[in-house]
Structure 1
Amino acid sequence: MIPNGVTPADDQIAADIFDVSIGYWQDTKHWEKIRGLKLLNRKGSRRRLYSKEQLLAARAEEERAKTVNEQPRYDLPPVPAEEHPGDLLDLEESLYALPEDKRVTLSTWKGYRYGTKTRLPNPDFNLGGKKVGGEVIGGEDFWRRQTILDWAADRRGRGNPKGRPAGRKESHSRPPNAQAEERKQRARQMLKMHSTTLTAKMLAEDLGVHVVHAERLLRMARLWKVVGLLEANPDLTVEDVQRETGLHVTAHARKLLDDAREVDASSQ
């Protein structure tokens, strides 16, 4: 979690602040030598997060200590500990920001990220991504705590008597992103055409997008293909998924099948 009022920084930003390469920063684990430096990422997160304000204060102290030939005496600005509506949460943290009676499984929640039936709001912030063709590719997305709570309050669901009743259309639907929808449809078409031989690189070249973005589109296309296969055959196996999608790694096919079952169950 990135507390409200804190400027987030990752390993690359930290390395820049300390004027070293990111490889040197990671190899030396310099963050462990800074007394009082708080890691903001949750356990198990793939990206280390820091307070930029703390990093800048630590660098300034190290420079001061170097000039007088003494050990640094770190006095870093505090990081807020109390929850705040403006806190930035990653995808998993945003799920657990909800009241327990409104939570779904983590795999279903991840399906909401790029879902077509139930879809999370757009992220409020991205750290580490690069803008390619008008879109931010890569990095990590974050949502403000209030954004997620408002979204959950506005949708009908378990433990929420408010929201749109079943069978009633929304009076103000969100305008779809035409380009994004076209890319999703094209990914599904390409998967149907090339079946087991389609790669993210092929899709990226066809769509003119970064390969990282193409990987997301390809996974979603495969997910919805497996959802369709499940509707026709509830006893679908991992081997069936591998045969139909071209996934060679059994663990990847199993994860895809599990996610498809979650999506299928949530749409019932």
Structure 2
Amino acid sequence: MKVFLSADIEGTAGIADWDEAERTHADYADFRRLMTNEVLAACEGARSAGASEVVIKDAHDSGRNIIVERLPDYVRIMRGWSGHPDGMMFGLGPEFAAALYTGYHAKAGSEANPLAHTTTLRISRLLLNGEVASEFTVNALVARRHGVPSVFLSGDTEICADARRLVPGIATVETLEGFGRAALSIAPSRACEAIREGVAAALSSLPSGAVAPPQGAFEVMIEFTNPTDAWRASWYPGAEISGPRTVAYRSADFFEIQRALRFLTA
């Protein structure tokens, strides 16, 4: 059984400030270690459930955060960014039995995590078919496009609730809850234990039957914080201005939505 893991940092237990997520700041080293610990816990849970291989996409910022020397021998890791529209899910394919997500966070426009955002801080909201979307919203649909079920997510309280609404039956571990610029977090050791157990349980009872691919039509709308970003993005083929600071793009093919996001948010 091959398992795919997309790992972010802003939903890691204990995190509360951008200094802790940015590699140029002294605080980053501690939270890089905590992110790695949660990834390792997910890998251990997958292994105990029978995974022969875990492929990790290091999906935060530079894509070079996880401490690779700590990874067990049954793991492969995708570091850096290829430029492929799969983005945070690059490396996933139909041969995988399941997709896991660690360190995930609330969507742009939310107050549920001091580090809430979607893809970039230049976006105030991203909407998919009229619903405000998170990075998980898009990534779970990428997994579906590959025929892979999303079965586990850890992160802040809101993204866990969103994940349960979007993917009925997904297992979640809530690591923190935001209050303005503050965050109330569980202990990192408790988070790792819960992730390890949650992943093992989720993979021991995988859903039966094929995963249906996402069906169109799709409309993505990006509200930028700056009108000049919207004007620039509007030159992508097929994109159009759709209100103040907002660009819209439509397609019946979800991969074309992914391709558009790859360039509209760059």
Name the structure where helix makes up a greater proportion of residues. Answer: 1
Where relative contact order (Cα < 8 A, 6+ residues apart) is larger, the structure is 2
In the superposition, the TM-score normalised over structure 2's length comes to 0.27
Name the structure where strand makes up a greater proportion of residues. Answer: 2
